[in-house]
Amino acid sequence: MKYFKTADPDDKSQGALSDRVHFLKCEEGGMKIMCEIAEKIFAEGREEGREEGRLLGKTEEAQKTVFNMSAKGFGIDMIAELTEVSAETVRTWLAQKSRVPG
């Protein structure tokens, strides 16, 4: 991979690898392939980011609900059951919240 990133496309010292680098970096068909690959990687990364955002949002909402229920006097087992979060996770979140000033 390092060779591909740093290689001079006109350097023919690496045989078939040099030929492929030249094709991908300089020729119309190769540049089209590289653009398609780059677009695919970008789209996959964007979707992964969206999914992480959705999961983070769900976690933040669940934490808020856990904190609110705890403040209203609900027990850990009841909170876990109603929020569909494990009791251990509920305990961890509540312990972390009690350590955070504010």
Over the stretch 29-59, which tens digit does the pLDDT of each residue have? 988 998 999 999 999 999 999 988 888 889 9
pLDDT at 26: 87
Domain boundaries, the chain: 2-99
Residue 95 clears pLDDT 70, i.e. is over it: yes
Q: What is the pLDDT of residues 73-93, one digit of tens each?
A: 999 999 999 999 999 999 999
**Residues 6+ positions from 31 with CB-CB distance below 8 Å:** 24, 25
Question: HSE-up of 19 (CA within 13 Å, CB side)?
Answer: 2
Higher pLDDT: 53 or 7? It is 53
